Amino acid sequence: MSRRRTLGTKKKLALLAGAAAVAGGGAFVAANASNAAQTAPGAQTRAAGDSTVCQGLATALGNNLRFIDGQRADPDAQSEARIANREAVVAEIERKQEASGCAAGESAPAPGSAPPPQSPPASQPAQTSQPAQPPQAGEQVCTGSTVTLSGEGGAPAASSNQFPVGTTLRVTNLDNGKSTTVTVDSVSGSCALLNDAAFEEVREDGKLLIRRALIEKVG
C-alpha cells in the first residue's frame, strides 16, 4: 500500500515539473516577442530618419515655414492667400514625413551657407532608389498633383521631391492652357513647386493654386 502511494506521488511531481517547464518556455517566447516588438519600431524610425527623403522633406518644410513667417512679418494685399496656400503645402509635407517614417514637423535650419550644399546631394541618392521605372522624356508624371508657388525669386525654376536637380519639367495649367518649361534646382515637398516667375507664366488671375495641372518630364 505504501509503495503505491510513493509511486503516485512521484508521478504527480513529474507531471507538475513538466507543466512548469512548458509554462516557462511559453513565457520565454512571449518575452522575446515582446522585446522584438519594442525594438523593431525604433530601428525602423532610425533607418527612415537617416534617409535622404527625410532630409528633403525637412528642407521643404523649413522653406515653407520661413516663407509664412516672412509674409506675416511684412504682409501685403495677397499675403493672406499666400499663407493659406503654404499652410496647405506644410500639412501635405508633414503627412509625407509621417508616411515615410520621418519625424513629423521636423524642419531644416534657416538658409545660409550649410543648407544649399545639402539639397543637391539629398535629391540624387533618392532618385537612385527607383532605377526600375524612371519616367521617359515627354512622359506625364505625378498625375493628379496640384501646383502652387514657392515664393522664391529668380528666373523661372521649380523644386521637386520626385526628380533630381537638373531635370526639366513642363507644367501646363489645363484651366487656361498656359504652360512653362522649367529646370528643377532644389528639393521640396511636392512633385513640382514653381517659383514666383514660373508661376506667373501659367497662373490664372487671382489664383495661387493650379488644381488641374499636366506635369511632364521633358529632359
Question: What are the tens digits of pLDDT across the range 76-133?
Answer: 888 888 888 889 888 888 888 888 888 888 887 765 544 444 544 444 444 444 444 5
DSSP string, 25-36: HHHHHHHHHHHH
> Was domain 51-217 assigned CATH 3.40.50.300?
no
Query: Which amino acid does the sequence have at 168?
Result: T
Residues of the chain with pLDDT under 50: 1-7, 12-49, 113-117, 119-132
* Calpha distance 148→186 (Å, rounded): 15
At CB < 8 A and 24+ separation, what contacts does 164-168 make?
164/120, 164/123, 164/124, 164/126, 164/127, 165/119, 165/120, 165/123, 165/124, 167/217, 167/219, 168/217, 168/218, 168/219
* Calpha distance 204→73 (Å, rounded): 26
Main-chain dihedrals φ then ψ at residue 153, nearest 5 degrees: -85, -165
* Calpha distance 109→121 (Å, rounded): 17
* Calpha distance 206→202 (Å, rounded): 12
- The pLDDT assigned to 116 comes to 46
- The pLDDT assigned to 8 comes to 55
For CA atoms 29, 33, 36, 38, the dihedral sign is negative
CA 178 to chain centre: 29
* Calpha distance 81→51 (Å, rounded): 33
